[in-house]
Each structure stands twice: as structure tokens, then as C-alpha cells.
Amino acid sequence: MNVVDSSGWLEYFADGPNASFFAPALESIEELVVPTISIYEVFKRILQQRDEAAALQATALMHQCEIVSLTAPLALSAARISRKLALPMADSIILATATSRDAVLWTQDADFAPIPGIRYIAKAK
């Protein structure tokens, strides 16, 4: 199983320099888990940068995967992860979701770089 954080989805949708890094995970939708916080972040960013139609189109693709809602147990796990690793809320929810599904987390978010087992690539400048 795989989880791609919001930065990876946005990179892929924009066909950015790291899009090919995320392509294997994002194009294997039967193995892809999407935290609801990622839907929020992707929709919001595309809505800011483009328009609602583009944002809805992007999130429609995300809905082809397994969507994982933030439940109370997942929220508690995320809070523990946040405290232990000093991660922001959204990042800790995404990591908790990946952990709960024994999934590999793919990202270009530097907050995740030092965490073992993460598939990380530095964001292209």
C-alpha cells in the first residue's frame, strides 16, 4: 500500500520536476490510500491557483482510491506522532494514516526527510 502526501499529488498534477518520482505510486490506484486531509489540502491549493472546476477534477481522481477518514483513534495516533516527531498536524495525520495501513509514505516535504521508511525526494527548486 502507498500514501502520497499532498505535496506529491500537487507535484504530479502540475507535472512538476518530481512528478515522475510520484507516478508509480499515484498510477497504482488499487494500492493507494488517501487521507481526507490530503483531499482538503489538494482541493484548497488548486482552488487558490486555478479554479473550482480544476480542483474538483483533481479530487475526483483522488476519490478513485481508498479514502481514509480521520477517526478518533487515528487522531490520537496522529497526536502521538506529532508530539514524538514534532510534525505539523496535517503531516502527522498523513503519517498516522500510512502507518495504520502499513503503507509507504511518498513525499517531497522536508519535514518527513529524517523519518526511516519514507520515500522522500527533495523538492526541486
> Domain limits of the chain?
2-120
At 123, is the secondary structure helix, strand, or coil? coil
Q: What is the pTM of this model?
A: 0.94
Average pLDDT across the chain, whole number: 97
Stretch 55-71: mean pLDDT: 97
Q: Does domain 2-120 have CATH number 3.40.50.1010?
A: yes
Mean pLDDT of 33-44: 98
Q: Rounded to 5 degrees, what angle do the CA atoms 48, 41, 83 make?
A: 140
Q: Is the pLDDT of residue 125 over 90?
A: no
Tens-place pLDDT, residues 80-109: 999 999 999 999 999 999 999 999 999 999
Q: What is the pLDDT of residue 12?
A: 97
- Of 107, 122, 117, nearest in space to 7 by CA: 107
CA distances 98 to 14, 47, 68, 75, Å, are 24, 26, 10, 13
Tell me what the mean pLDDT of segment 40-64 comes to.
97
Cβ atoms 98, 33 nearer than 8 A: yes
Contact 90, 102 (CB under 8 A): no
Mean pLDDT of 22-39: 97
Predicted local distance difference test score (pLDDT) of residue 57: 97
